[in-house]
Amino acid sequence: MINLSHTRDWSVFNARDYLHEYYADIGSENLAILHFMVRALSEVSPDSVLLDFGGGPTVYSLIASANHAREIHFCDYLDTNLEQVRMWLECHPQAFNWTEFIKTTLVLEGNDYSKQGVCDRERKIRQRVTQVLHCDANLPQPIETDVDGYDVLVTNFCAESATDSVEQWRRFVTNITSLIKPGGRLIMSTLKGASSYGVGAESFPAVNIMEDDLMELLIDIGFNYNTVHIESVPADRPSRHYQGLMFVSAIKRT
């Protein structure tokens, strides 16, 4: 039975339940996310150092990223999520299967999506990811890194999916984006008009934000107005407790 009151206890976040709930197939939401990643990254230099912040137990955002970065750092708050990502990076037989996501990304990029094409991209991702780190968006310095400002920061469904407080969401995004160098790029996906999201029998809080909230915050924290692009798509299942997804790309002021 679904528990309708939200938990704040992250120790009950089950990484495999989350993967099965949201990444078991490529519906219109996941297709839109992959398409956004391909479009947003197409303008990024392959010489970039990229951080995936709050990547959870997923590697889908690394698929397109691997083609546009010489080095990728990955972080999440939960060890259980980092464990799932390490399993995939180490080709563990019980790792989650991302093959359909890789194939679809290759199709969207116009690249070879044969078995060999998929294997080549898997190898590239595994070569590019050099650090898997713990992070905490509550902290002014959310990760321990010697990188003095990332060229690109990707963060999907993290800040707004870790709280139901607008104030805390603003603080999370401020802390997360402080890791981007001046002139660097933010690539972010968020829930839109959310109240919560389910993971197995648990319900986690999400903040209720819309395009205007995002725009206002990004300008306040140092992104160049002319570079902020926001798109949205509707949720693809009526069972979801959010209206849709928003996709943001923005450049930090120099």
Ligand X SMILES: C[S@@+](CC[C@H](N)C(=O)[O-])C[C@H]1O[C@@H](n2cnc3c(N)ncnc32)[C@H](O)[C@@H]1O
Minimum Å gap between C-beta 230 and ligand X is 17
Q: Which of 230, 212, 222 is nearest to 254 (CA)?
A: 222
Kindly give the pairing relationship between strand 49-53 and strand 71-76.
Answer: parallel
| CB-based contact 230:214 (threshold 8 Å) | yes
Q: Binding ligand X by CB under 6 A: which of 36, 74, 77, 223?
A: 77
If binding is defined by CB under 6 A, does position 156 make contact with ligand X? yes
Closest approach of ligand X to the CB of residue 22, in Å: 6
Please tell me whether residue 235 binds ligand X under the rule CB under 6 A: no
Shortest separation between residue 238's beta carbon and ligand X, angstroms: 19
Q: Where are the beta strands (DSSP E) in 102-168?
A: 129-134, 150-156
Tell me the window of 54-62, 119-127, 212-220, 235-243 that interacts with ligand X (CB under 6 A).
Answer: 54-62
Instruction: Report if residue 78 touches ligand X, rule: CB under 6 A.
Output: yes
Binder of ligand X out of 54, 184, 198, 205 (CB under 6 A):
54
Residue range at the interface with ligand X (CB under 6 A); choices 111-119, 134-142, 143-151, 214-222: 134-142
User: With contacts defined by CB under 6 A, how many residues of the chain interact with ligand X?
Assistant: 18
Q: What is the DSSP letter of 6?
A: P
Q: Which of 55, 48, 51, 53 is nearest to 69 (CA)?
A: 48
Q: State which of residues 44, 49, 55, 233 lies at the interface with ligand X (CB under 6 A).
A: 55
Closest distance of CB 142 from ligand X, Å: 7
Contact residue for ligand X among 56, 184, 198, 205 (CB under 6 A): 56
Residues of this chain, 15-34, that bind ligand X according to CB under 6 A:
none
CA–CA separation, 184 and 177 (whole Å):
10
Report helix, strand and coil shares of the chain as percent, to nearest 5.
40, 25, 35
Rounded to a whole number of angstroms, the minimum distance from the CB of residue 21 to ligand X is 10
> What is the C-alpha separation between 111 and 131, in angstroms, rounded?
27
CA distance 81 to 159: 16
Please give the helix or strand (H or E) that residue 182 lies within, else none. strand 180-192
Residues in contact with ligand X by the rule CB under 6 A: 10, 54-56, 58, 76-78, 81, 135-138, 156-158, 161-162
